[in-house]
Amino acid sequence: MNQNPPLPPQAPHDPHTSVIFIIDDEEIVIEMLTAFLQEAGFSRIHGFEDSVEAIDTFEQLRPDLILTDIHMPEASGNFLTKLVRSHKGMKTVPVVAVTADARPEVARKIMGYGADAVLVKPVDNDQLVQCVCETLEKYQRINQEQQQQIDCEIQQKAQASARIIGQETELRELFGRPGAAAPTN
């Protein structure tokens, strides 16, 4: 039986490769969150004041994490989160809501739409970086587990195919020999 070696454990997320979208209608908030993340080593940060522009960009550049305000003109963070969760290629992108509205029902609502966490403005630097890192690591573990499951299923199907091919070959040899009798039941 040919078995593939197990995959080596993957290193924790690399802030230099993680693509983060920050979507907020206030430029100062985008600048502040960007500065906090850059201090932590993140470098691939894209800020959007226009949520519709961010949505259009999803097709060209898939983010690893989205930080979004909830209350915005054009498309709210609630709408954006629902869109991400319903989009085939974006379902596994974590969404962290960032809002000035500290009411529990607001947090419950966006979590109900699929947000992974809610941060209340003004956001503390350490709180933001911790939330982003933990969320990225959580999704990295989930993606690794899913990939391992897919690899296992592929290996099982390949083994089943090999058994079928082997049985077919045996039957061809058995029935292909001159004078070989067909089995009777």
pLDDT digits (tens, 9 = 90+) for 45-95: 999 998 888 888 887 888 999 999 998 888 888 888 998 888 877 888 899
- Whole-model pTM over 0.85: no
In this prediction, what percent of the chain has a pLDDT beyond 90?
A: 37
Average pLDDT, the chain: 81
pLDDT score of 15: 62
Q: Which CATH class is domain 19-141?
A: alpha beta
184 pLDDT band, cuts 50/70/90, is low
Domain ranges of the chain: 19-141
Binned at pLDDT 50, 70 and 90, residue 143 comes out as low
HEC per residue, the chain:
CCCCCCCCCCCCCCCCCCEEEEECCCHHHHHHHHHHHHHCCCCEEEEECCHHHHHHHCCCCCCCEEEEECCCCCCCHHHHHHHHHHCCCCCCCCEEEEECCCCHHHHHHHHHCCCCEEEECCCCHHHHHHHHHHHHHHHHHHHHHHHHHHHHHHHHHHHHHHHHHHHHHHHHHHHHCCCCCCCCC
